[in-house]
């Protein structure tokens, strides 16, 4: 649930099992998807197999929405065994006979005796479910692949589904590099100028979409997708922000739930500013864990230091980059300042398997070369090698500013940033100022920060990692306790999200739940090595 330059809810597309597989989703593969227009196939493998059932019959849609629920998308081959289609939904669900938009979807048919479909979402908001699904063979286990078609989709406003656009590449470069900790009037003025410019750009280029890109509408779209793939009950795997989407779905359609796995959970009851602060603290915990790991292993550029010494030297590096940018070996003219250093450090903190790369990048940065930190920052904000951006940052901002209420004015952000920096000195100010464009947003928020209960839904499995930097474990506990049928599965490990990142204990529990609806004991915590 990251906001703008912040990083709440994103899953960098590299490292780890699922995330490492997603690295293969390059612009070339996307081009192949668009270019491949093979045979039309209305039916996935095993289409005649019994569809999955929930504990109750699915709620019938309003009559005015029936044409959307009963549509038959033209699934067509789009490379590597995948099928792609467009699904029509109303721009405004209050006016179903009005303007329509299309949701882009992709599926990989089940390999065995099919139970139904598993819808997936990678997080964000702003993460592409289509690109994520391209890594389906690693995102889920072979057993799950055998029983379910894996279905990914770009939520409205994202990627290939009526994308929100706001800024040029040059403007996005400037916004991403905005001073992470403004400490004098000119830097505050720069924050105001570029943040207002972000909001104005979104209104100018995507004004008609902005009121309708919130998570409630995305959840309604997901129910249409559930129906058009032929499932009476939704089976879903949502990671990070995808847990928020799943929780909102369950609250709207509790009778349409079969099984929801919410991994790397966001707590809907936490206010926007408090969520920024808590997430910044989560990254501080992860940075300390990285420092401990670095000192105990090879190639640590901080050898001989204490953990506090490592953290202090990283602070000095950020301060130095604020005063004098690091060297950029890419030769593209971009300045590697404090903001880029923060992003470059944050990206590999998502995944313990990426920590060796962070050690090397910090070693180079201590010698004045920030090139590898810049490369990792680019991964986090989804800047492509050719210099272009996906619309991740823009859609992320648009969705968050509609979903949550944020304070108005620079003074409120200065106060909140100062408070956050006290508990999270490396990340607090950066994460807090990342929400500032919402202060100028042209559309009023329609969401609210309150507990989601999903009363009437069957058991929902909430998964949390104890030292998750982006979605702290406390959020998983909170969501599991708020959901009337929530069950908590913990993982005593590092990194963002737990399923398919190395824990056989977590993987087995999730697979049993998805396939057989067998639930683990509430509060189970899987060991790091298990």
Q: How far apart are CA 355 and CA 469, in angstroms?
A: 13
* DSSP symbols for 35-49: H----B-SS-TTTTS
Task: Please identify which residue in the block is written with the tokens 């009023």.
Answer: 444
Q: How far apart are CA 438 and CA 278, in angstroms?
A: 19
Q: How far apart are CA 242 and CA 483, in angstroms?
A: 16
Whether the Cβ atoms of residue 255 and residue 282 lie closer than 8 Å to each other: no
Which residue out of 240, 435, 485, 503 is catalytically annotated?
240
Q: Specify which residues 356 forms β-bridges with.
A: none
**How many alpha carbons lie under 13 Å from residue 476 in its C-beta half-sphere?**
36
Of 501, 456, 350, nearest to 59 (Cα)?
456
> Going by DSSP bridges, is the β-strand pair 234-239/257-263 parallel, antiparallel, or unpaired?
parallel
Which residue out of 154, 223, 372, 468 is catalytically annotated?
468
Q: How far apart are CA 144 and CA 311, in angstroms?
A: 42
Distances (CA, A) of 131 to 45, 65, 214: 21, 29, 21
Q: How far apart are CA 178 and CA 335, in angstroms?
A: 10
Whether the Cβ atoms of residue 420 and residue 465 lie closer than 8 Å to each other: no
Active site residue 181: no
Q: How far apart are CA 368 and CA 325, in angstroms?
A: 9
Q: How far apart are CA 117 and CA 231, in angstroms?
A: 7
Which residue out of 162, 231, 496, 503 is catalytically annotated?
496
Active site residue 468: yes
Q: How far apart are CA 53 and CA 524, in angstroms?
A: 27
Task: Please identify which residue in the block is written with the tokens 């919410």.
Answer: 262
* DSSP symbols for 191-243: HHHHHHHHHHHHHHHHTTTGGG-SHHHHHHHHHHHHHHTT-SSEEEEEETHHH
Whether the Cβ atoms of residue 82 and residue 30 lie closer than 8 Å to each other: no
**How many alpha carbons lie under 13 Å from residue 207 in its C-beta half-sphere?**
6
At 492, list the tokens: 């005593």
- Classify burial at 449, counting beta carbons within 10 Å of its beta carbon; exposed 0-12, middle 13-18, buried 19 or more: middle
Distances (CA, A) of 231 to 99, 116, 191, 261: 26, 6, 47, 17
Q: How far apart are CA 195 and CA 200, in angstroms?
A: 9
Which residues are part of the catalytic machinery? 240, 468, 496
């Amino acid at each position: 649930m990251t906001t703008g330059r912040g990083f709440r809810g994103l899953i960098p597309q590299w490292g780890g099992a699922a995330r490492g597989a997603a690295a293969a989703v390059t612009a070339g593969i996307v081009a192949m998807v668009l270019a491949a227009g093979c045979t039309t196939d209305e039916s996935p493998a095993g289409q005649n197999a019994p569809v999955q059932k929930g504990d109750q019959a699915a709620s019938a849609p309003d009559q005015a929405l029936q044409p959307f629920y009963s549509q038959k998308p033209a699934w067509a081959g789009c490379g590597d065994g995948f099928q792609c289609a467009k699904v029509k939904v109303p721009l405004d669900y209050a006016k179903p006979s009005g303007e329509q938009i299309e949701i882009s979807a992709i599926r990989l048919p089940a390999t065995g005796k099919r139970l139904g479909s598993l819808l997936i979402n990678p997080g964000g908001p702003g993460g592409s479910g289509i690109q994520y699904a391209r890594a389906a063979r690693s995102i889920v286990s072979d057993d799950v692949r055998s029983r379910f078609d894996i279905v990914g989709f770009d939520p409205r406003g994202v990627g290939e589904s009526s994308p929100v656009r706001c800024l040029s590449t040059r403007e996005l470069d400037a916004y991403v590099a905005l001073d992470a900790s403004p400490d004098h009037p000119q830097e505050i003025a720069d924050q105001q100028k570029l943040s207002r410019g972000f909001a104005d750009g979104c209104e100018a280029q995507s004004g008609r979409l902005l009121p309708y890109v919130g998570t409630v509408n995305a959840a309604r779209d997901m129910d249409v997708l559930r129906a058009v793939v032929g499932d009476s009950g939704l089976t879903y795997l949502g990671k990070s922000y995808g847990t928020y989407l799943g929780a909102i779905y369950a609250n709207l359609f509790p009778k349409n739930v079969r099984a929801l796995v919410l991994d790397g959970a966001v707590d809907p009851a936490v206010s926007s500013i408090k969520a920024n602060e808590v997430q910044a603290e989560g990254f501080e915990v992860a940075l300390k864990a990285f420092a401990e790991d670095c000192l105990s292993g090879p190639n640590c550029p901080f050898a001989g230091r204490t953990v506090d010494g490592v953290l202090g030297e990283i602070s000095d590096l950020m301060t130095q980059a604020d005063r004098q940018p690091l060297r950029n070996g890419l030769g593209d003219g971009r300045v590697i300042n404090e903001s880029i250093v923060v992003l470059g450090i944050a990206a590999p903190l998502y995944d313990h398997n990426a920590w060796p790369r962070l050690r090397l990048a910090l070693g180079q940065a201590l010698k004045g070369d920030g090139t590898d930190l810049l490369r990792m920052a680019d991964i986090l904000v989804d800047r492509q090698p050719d210099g272009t951006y996906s619309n991740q940052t823009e859609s992320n901002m648009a969705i968050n500013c509609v979903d949550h209420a944020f304070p108005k004015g620079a003074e409120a952000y200065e106060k909140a940033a100062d408070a956050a920096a006290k508990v999270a000195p490396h990340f607090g100010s950066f994460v807090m100022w990342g929400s500032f464009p919402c202060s100028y947003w042209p559309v009023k928020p329609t969401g609210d920060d309150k507990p989601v209960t999903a009363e009437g839904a069957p058991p929902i499995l909430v998964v949390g990692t104890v030292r998750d930097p982006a979605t702290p474990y406390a959020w998983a506990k909170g969501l599991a306790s708020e959901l009337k049928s929530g069950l908590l599965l913990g993982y005593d490990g590092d990194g963002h999200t737990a399923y398919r990142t190395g824990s056989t204990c977590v993987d087995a529990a999730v697979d049993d739940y998805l396939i057989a609806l067998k639930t683990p004991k509430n509060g189970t915590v899987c060991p790091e090595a298990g």
